[in-house]
């Protein structure tokens, strides 16, 4: 079981597992008003898609910001929401949402795990979310201004 955000950061920074191929995580620990957050990239990632990890007593949340809502072409917004809901069914371990915690609402892709999850499970979630975020960005680019 992972005890703290700093343990997650250290564990991912040193993570090796042949199951997922030859990759290395790039990890930054960020102090925010909401607590410590980990920013993670996969170093084999040509399209550096950041994933943010936050842990509390109950769960570990893994989030990737896709694009600000204001970037969506106004005439296509309804279609975007329908398409994202359809995509949610076929993207393993991930769901779409809107993050309203910053100045601008942002479309995000996220997943969560029990706070008692293993580092292997978390690494799998992070890699899956990076892959899913890349796919969502490719699909969503036609809807953006």
Task: Report the pLDDT averaged over residues 3-8.
Answer: 85
The model's pTM:
0.86
CA distance 45 to 28: 16
Averaged pLDDT score across all residues of the chain: 86
Q: Residues 6 or more apart from 94 whose CB is under 8 A from it?
A: 88, 109, 110, 111, 128, 129, 132, 133
What does the pLDDT read at residue 144?
93
DSSP per-residue string spanning 21-82: -S--EEEEEEEETTEEEEEEEETT-TT---EEEEE-SSEEEEEEEEEEGGGB-GGGHHHHHH
What does the pLDDT read at residue 96?
92
Q: Which domains does the chain carry?
A: 5-143 (3.30.1460.10)
What does the pLDDT read at residue 109?
94
What does the pLDDT read at residue 15?
83
What does the pLDDT read at residue 33?
81
Q: Read off the pLDDT of residues 71-119 as tens digits, 9 standing for 90 and up.
A: 999 999 999 999 888 888 888 778 999 998 878 999 999 999 999 899 8
């Amino acid at each position: 079981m992972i005890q703290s955000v700093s343990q997650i950061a250290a564990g991912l920074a040193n993570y090796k597992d042949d199951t997922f191929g030859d990759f290395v995580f790039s990890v930054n620990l960020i102090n925010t008003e909401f607590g410590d957050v980990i920013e993670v990239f996969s170093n084999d990632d040509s399209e550096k898609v950041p994933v943010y990890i936050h842990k509390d007593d109950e769960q570990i949340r893994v989030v990737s910001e896709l694009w600000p809502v204001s970037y969506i072409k106004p005439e296509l917004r309804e279609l975007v929401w329908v398409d994202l809901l359809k995509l949610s069914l076929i993207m393993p371990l991930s769901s779409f949402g809107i993050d309203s915690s910053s100045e601008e609402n942002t479309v995000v892709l996220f997943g969560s795990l029990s706070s008692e999850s293993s580092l292997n499970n978390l690494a799998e979630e992070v890699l899956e979310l990076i892959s899913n975020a890349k796919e969502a960005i490719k699909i969503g680019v036609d809807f953006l201004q």
